């Protein structure tokens, strides 16, 4: 006999109750899903076929230039600019976010002004501006030290400055949003335990804010990779610039653009994988449900449904 048989609450059974047990149920055949899948696969297959056989894509040319040294150099510049721009952007963004949240009017105002300016003007304009800084300030001096602006602002520094400062303005708002999403009680608890503000931020607030900071940051990083293509206007040889320099010679425009497109897609795909790993790490306290009361209450009733 089963364990439940001697429970007072057991009521009489009908013969058909066994047949009505929902565990025996069959799933309805999903005609609509099958049809949609079929149509989609046919369309996708057709499109892939057209792309594959269209001689204008010149796939052999794509293959030939995919690992071309010029392309590789451009790829390095794109990745380098992305990493440096993003790193400075995040670090400066964190400082700006904290300043924007502080009670200090001066810090608050400076941060607000920075964000207002660098978010409010197009990145392309900012890049051209940095590149032409020497027409505005021919010499830059700090104290008695003084430099020719053209020595300081090379295409590389102009590109890094433009990308990083613009990014910092966006990251500041993302980080601020993340910090605000953390329960106020957490900061108060850290305070009550005698933590300094810096330590409370580092150990308690930021790790919890990361959960809402990481997804939009991943977005920013992907935007940044593509935004680096703008630096080709100030003669920085990034990925796009390098394929352009090849097709300006060979006129194989489409296949070389395909080289760039495939590389951009490859990088962003790798970044997506990295992003999910980071999200899993910062979500580690979320495992298990709030009501997972283990053996706290040895309650007879709650154990019954598992024993049949």
Q: Which residues bind other proteins (CB under 8 A)?
A: 183, 185-186, 188-189, 191-197, 199, 203-204, 207-208, 282, 284-294, 296-297
User: In the complex, what is the shortest distance from the CB of residue 196 to other proteins, in angstroms, rounded to a whole number?
Assistant: 5
Residue found by looking up tokens 């040294």 in the block = 69
| 34, containing H or E segment | helix 31-53
The answer to whether 99 and 114 are in contact (CB under 8 A) is: no
User: In the complex, what is the shortest distance from the CB of residue 293 to other proteins, in angstroms, rounded to a whole number?
Assistant: 4
**9 vs 192, beta carbon nearer other proteins:** 192
Diameter over CA atoms, the chain: 99
User: In the complex, what is the shortest distance from the CB of residue 50 to other proteins, in angstroms, rounded to a whole number?
Assistant: 50
**200 vs 258, beta carbon nearer other proteins:** 200
User: In the complex, what is the shortest distance from the CB of residue 187 to other proteins, in angstroms, rounded to a whole number?
Assistant: 10
Distances, alpha carbon 129 to alpha carbons 111, 124, 214, 302, in Å = 21, 9, 31, 69
Residue found by looking up tokens 């079929």 in the block = 38
**116 vs 193, beta carbon nearer other proteins:** 193
Q: Check the CA dihedral 111-117-122-126 and report its sign.
A: negative
**124 vs 195, beta carbon nearer other proteins:** 195
* Phi, psi values for residue 139, rounded to 5°: -130, 145
Please, which contacts does 277-280 make with residues 24 or more away whose CB atoms are closer than 8 Å? 278/210, 278/214, 279/211, 279/214, 279/215
**261 vs 293, beta carbon nearer other proteins:** 293
**3 vs 191, beta carbon nearer other proteins:** 191
CA distance 261 to 251: 17
CA distance 122 to 233: 14
User: In the complex, what is the shortest distance from the CB of residue 98 to other proteins, in angstroms, rounded to a whole number?
Assistant: 15
**3 vs 188, beta carbon nearer other proteins:** 188
User: In the complex, what is the shortest distance from the CB of residue 300 to other proteins, in angstroms, rounded to a whole number?
Assistant: 14
User: In the complex, what is the shortest distance from the CB of residue 190 to other proteins, in angstroms, rounded to a whole number?
Assistant: 8
């Amino acid at each position: 006999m089963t364990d439940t048989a001697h429970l007072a609450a057991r009521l009489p059974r009908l013969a058909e109750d066994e047949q009505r047990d929902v565990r025996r149920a069959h799933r309805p055949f999903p005609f609509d899903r099958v049809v949609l899948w079929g149509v989609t696969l046919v369309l996708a297959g057709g499109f892939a076929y057209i792309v594959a056989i269209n001689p204008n894509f010149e796939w052999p040319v794509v293959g030939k230039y995919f690992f071309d040294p010029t392309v590789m150099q451009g790829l390095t510049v794109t990745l380098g600019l992305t990493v440096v721009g993003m790193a400075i952007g995040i670090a400066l963004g964190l400082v700006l976010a904290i300043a924007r949240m502080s009670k200090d009017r001066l810090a608050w105002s400076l941060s607000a002004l920075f964000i207002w300016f660098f978010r409010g003007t197009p990145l392309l304009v900012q890049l051209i501006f940095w590149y032409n800084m020497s027409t505005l300030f021919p010499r830059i001096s700090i104290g008695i030290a003084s430099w020719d602006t053209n020595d300081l602002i090379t295409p590389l520094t102009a590109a890094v400055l433009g990308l990083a400062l613009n990014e910092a303005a966006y990251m500041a708002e993302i980080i601020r949003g993340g910090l605000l999403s953390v329960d106020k009680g957490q900061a108060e608890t850290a305070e009550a335990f005698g933590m300094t503000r810096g330590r409370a931020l580092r150990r308690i607030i930021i790790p919890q804010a990361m959960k809402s900071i990481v997804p939009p940051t991943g977005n920013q990083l992907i935007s940044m990779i593509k935004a680096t293509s703008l630096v080709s206007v100030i003669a920085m040889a990034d990925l796009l610039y390098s394929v352009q320099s090849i097709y300006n010679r060979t006129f194989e425009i489409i296949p070389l653009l395909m080289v760039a497109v495939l590389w951009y897609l490859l990088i962003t795909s790798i970044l997506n994988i990295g992003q999910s790993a980071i999200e899993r790490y910062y979500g580690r306290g979320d495992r298990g449900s709030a009501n997972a009361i283990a053996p706290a209450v040895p309650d007879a009733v709650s154990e019954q449904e598992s024993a049949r």
